[in-house]
Chain A
Amino acid sequence: MSRPFTVGIHIDGPGSHPAALGDVGGGAERVLGPDRVRETIARVEAAGFSYATFAGSHLPPQTSPELPARLDPVQQAAFAGPLSSRIGLIPEIPVSYVEPFHTATQLASIDYASVGRAGWLVSAENSPEAARQFGREALDDEVLAAELADAVAVVRRLWDSWEADAVIRELSTGRYIDREKLHYIDFVGRTFSVKGPSITPRPPQGQLPVIVPVAHAAGVDADAVIVSAGTGLAERVAAARELGVAIVIVDLEVVLDSRGERAADRLARLDADRPWPGAAAERFLGTAAELTGLIGELAETVDGVRILPASLDRDLDELRFAVLPALTAAGVHEPPRPGTSLRQALGLPAAENIYAAFGRN
């Protein structure tokens, strides 16, 4: 079976352009409320995306200075769980400063609330400003790399710390669980140690898909890496494949012709308000049909594309009504079916459990 080609979308409040808030009727108050989250998840699921990532950061969004902070991405993903049935839900969670034990149980809880559709977009965020909120100092590169590898490893261990059939409810012995199927992980990392087991039993998927930006993926036990689009993509993809990670996803910032306004004009209008940082050459500007063509070409070399729309309110309609239907018609992408786990949607095999596989500890 060849790997399915996935199309995901990144949700960052009003969109990824720093002036996108201007497109939202209701402004910050609406972006920071439940109705907007409810509506957005319904729209992106109806569009047929494989998954949505929810932006997260220790700091206020660089993208929208009018927003004091985002809604917590873990909570957004959990909130979206019972409101959807097909789409993968992937919060962006940094490893720096936060407790890996909490990250493991938060993600497992989303997986329960969505019945197997959660994933983890690992963030390598690290700065003096972020660290100061925790009363800590920023990490140097070496420590950060160790922190990333250790945090992913320990979270995975915690997901494995309950075997899937640990709950036995055996009245004759009075036992609710078979404690032989729960495991102290006794993880000792470079800057922290975790005893285990998790307080949350093994999540429905066993192991949630873990996605890491390629720049931080070395030594990290990831299922997928994200590379940026633009010049030199082939080299970046080749380098990513060298890491031995199963899935390579390309990030694509997108501005589309919309409502009779050309993409270039839209971007100029948004940029006049506040310029979009980053490399303009890596962005896609054009029509829905052109984007469909580009994604079709990318499907030849990568396993998926994650779209970062400049403005959700404007670009999402084009993606939903033009781009994704065309990709489906062309056989490039298939929307997930209800009941599909995120692992299945990404073409990952059923997860093994290190403790079940290698005997009792």
Chain B
Amino acid sequence: MTTATQNDGRPARNQIQFGVFFHGVNFSTIWHWPESGDQLAFESFRRVAQTAERGVFAAFFLGEGLRLREHLGRLHHLDVVGRPDAQTQDAALAAVTSRIGLVATQSTTYNDPADLAYRLASLNRLSGGRNAWNIVTTHNAWTGENFRRGGYVSEEERYRHADAFVTAVKEIWRAGDPAAADRLPLRYRDDFYDLEVRRTLPLGPAGRPVLFQAGDSTEGRDFAAKHADLIFSAHPAYADATEFAQDIARRAKAAGRPEGAVRPFPGSTFVIGDTDAEAQEKWREVQLAQITPQTALAYLEQIWGAPLDAYDPEGPLPDIDPVVQITDVTRGSWGQNYQAKQIADEWRELARDRGWSIREFVIHQAARGNDTNGFVGSVQTIADSLERYADAGIVAGFNISPYLTPTGLDDIVNRLVPELQHRGIYPERYVGTTLREHLGLAPEL
């Protein structure tokens, strides 16, 4: 057997980490199979978090919801919907786990810096240095309808505002250091905020919560390069991931960060079978379950801007043109502000060339190359693929969206993780107790 560690206990090979993204996004969670559990019961969250911890996962991710998604002007009813408040749920999970990192997605727009800094610091202590903040920068007025200030941040100011917010939070954390107690009350002023902060907690020995960021625009990448430790990216495919890693490294350097200070952590889905062929069959079943006929039509309706229920999901794409020029924001993280007619034309051409029905088209569209990444296959096939990523060092790890709750990680933890450990590209055990230690990040205030 090969030995996975050198004499000093450090891994001989570059390793990757895993995270789990509970619920994923859109239609990724299958809700109608016999194994599909309760999507909101605390037991489901406990089961996933504890399974992930058994598999030495670095982190458990929770998204944030600030307004329920809509479709054609009504509540979207086809996908799993409804979630707990992220930090509150992380606090409950901190009680029943001891090592795994707990990541809460939190908006810079619909929170207040002093309040969020305090709550993140509190969770930092309560979790023993295991928490992280996945920074998002909502800016639309539609979401703002649930909050006191409404849609007060314009799209142009989105990242300038977020920069001010995160800078304020970091400043407040630093003022919580007992050695800096004479700085309180802390006066903080910039273009957006004028605060006097008295309540702040000292952080644990590992320093501030780990910061994730998920924006993918040029501005989003620069923001991440400046502030984040990890980027929850949408670039899992090898070539794409390589390019993304180089781009981020360049931006981080320009922002004055040391090499390796900001690392990609792409979202991904793994489908394991006894053989590659069996895994592909399973993947097909998963996709058919995710993209129900209704979901396939709704996917197009998002671009067309009108009901398409007169069209057969097993037939060709609609020949009518979209009724909207620009797609709207109410479906949440996907499909905002697209040029509708242009996309419709591209899609129709692609589907015609390939002979795809509506549902078949959406299945291929939604897969986004997942099946060609080597993430669908036998344990050996997936491990071979992941070995390439580990050796190239282009990602810190993968944030896995299981397609089932709460059993979706079982195969990954029982079958894939041991193989990766055997190959020396995945941690055998937790090296420390804090998320910073799991991710190899130095303590930082």
Q: Is A201 an interface residue (CB 8 A)?
A: yes
Q: Is B373 an interface residue (CB 8 A)?
A: no
Chain A interface extent, by class: 35 or more
> Bound state CA distance, A309 and B61, in angstroms?
38
Q: Is B31 an interface residue (CB 8 A)?
A: yes
Q: Do B85 and A69 touch across chains, with their CB atoms under 8 A apart?
A: no
- Which of A57, A97, A176, A196 neighbours the largest number of chain B CB atoms within 10 Å of its CB? A176
Q: Is B345 an interface residue (CB 8 A)?
A: no
Chain A residues, CB < 8 A from B184: 68
Residue of B nearest to A189 (CB): B148
Contacts A82-B92, A109-B88 given: A72-B123 contact, CB under 8 Å? Answer: yes
Which residues B68-94 have CB closer than 8 A to chain A? 68, 74-75, 77-85, 87-89, 91-92, 94
Q: Is A162 an interface residue (CB 8 A)?
A: yes
Chain A residues, CB < 8 A from B200: 68-69
Q: Is B207 an interface residue (CB 8 A)?
A: no
Chain A residues, CB < 8 A from B199: 57-60, 68-69, 133
Q: Return the contact of A32 from the options B119, B125, B295 (Cβ within 8 A).
A: B125
Chain B residues, CB < 8 A from A19: none
Q: Do A133 and B91 touch across chains, with their CB atoms under 8 A apart?
A: no
Q: Is B127 an interface residue (CB 8 A)?
A: yes
Which residues B174-197 have CB closer than 8 A to chain A? 176, 178, 181, 184-185, 193-197
Stretch of B10-18, B38-46, B216-224, B389-397 at the chain-chain interface: B38-46
Chain B residues, CB < 8 A from A191: 148
Encode contact with A along B13-54: 1 for CB under 8 Å, 0 otherwise. Answer: 000000000000000000110001001111000100000000
Encode contact with B along A35-72: 1 for CB under 8 Å, 0 otherwise. Answer: 00110000000000000000001111000000011011
Q: Is A290 an interface residue (CB 8 A)?
A: no
Q: Is A129 an interface residue (CB 8 A)?
A: yes
Q: Is B96 an interface residue (CB 8 A)?
A: yes
Q: Is B114 an interface residue (CB 8 A)?
A: yes
Encode contact with A along B269-309: 1 for CB under 8 Å, 0 otherwise. Answer: 00000000000000000000000111100000000000000
- State how many angstroms separate the Cβ of B161 from the closest Cβ of chain A: 13
Q: Do B65 and A199 touch across chains, with their CB atoms under 8 A apart?
A: yes
Q: Do B122 and A133 touch across chains, with their CB atoms under 8 A apart?
A: no
Q: Do B95 and A199 touch across chains, with their CB atoms under 8 A apart?
A: no
Q: Do B148 and A199 touch across chains, with their CB atoms under 8 A apart?
A: no
Chain B interface extent, by class: 35 or more
Q: Do B88 and A101 touch across chains, with their CB atoms under 8 A apart?
A: no
Which residues B399-419 have CB closer than 8 A to chain A? none
Q: Do B126 and A199 touch across chains, with their CB atoms under 8 A apart?
A: no
Chain B residues, CB < 8 A from A113: 42, 84, 88-89, 92
> Bound state CA distance, A194 and B66, in angstroms?
11
Encode contact with B along A92-108: 1 for CB under 8 Å, 0 otherwise. Answer: 00000111011001101
Chain A residues, CB < 8 A from B198: 59-60, 129, 133
- State how many angstroms separate the Cβ of B189 from the closest Cβ of chain A: 9
Contacts A38-B95, A169-B32 given: A109-B84 contact, CB under 8 Å? Answer: yes
Q: Is B202 an interface residue (CB 8 A)?
A: yes
Chain A residues, CB < 8 A from B127: 34
Q: Is B342 an interface residue (CB 8 A)?
A: no
Please list the 8 inter-chain residue pairs (A to B) with the smallest Cβ-Cβ separation, ordered nearest first. A174-B294, A199-B65, A113-B92, A75-B91, A72-B122, A109-B84, A195-B145, A109-B88
**Given A68-B202, A72-B118, A108-B84, 13 other A-B contacts at CB below 8 A?**
A34-B128, A74-B87, A75-B87, A79-B126, A82-B92, A105-B85, A134-B115, A134-B195, A169-B36, A171-B292, A173-B294, A179-B77, A200-B84
| Contacts from A to B (Cβ < 8 Å) | 32-34, 37-38, 57-60, 68-69, 71-72, 74-76, 78-83, 97-99, 101-102, 105-106, 108-110, 112-113, 115, 129, 132-135, 162, 167, 169, 171, 173-179, 182, 191-197, 199-201
22 A-B contacts (beta carbon < 8 Å): A34-B125, A71-B201, A72-B123, A74-B88, A75-B87, A101-B146, A106-B88, A108-B85, A113-B42, A115-B42, A132-B195, A133-B114, A169-B32, A175-B294, A178-B77, A179-B74, A179-B77, A195-B67, A199-B66, A199-B67, A200-B40, A200-B83
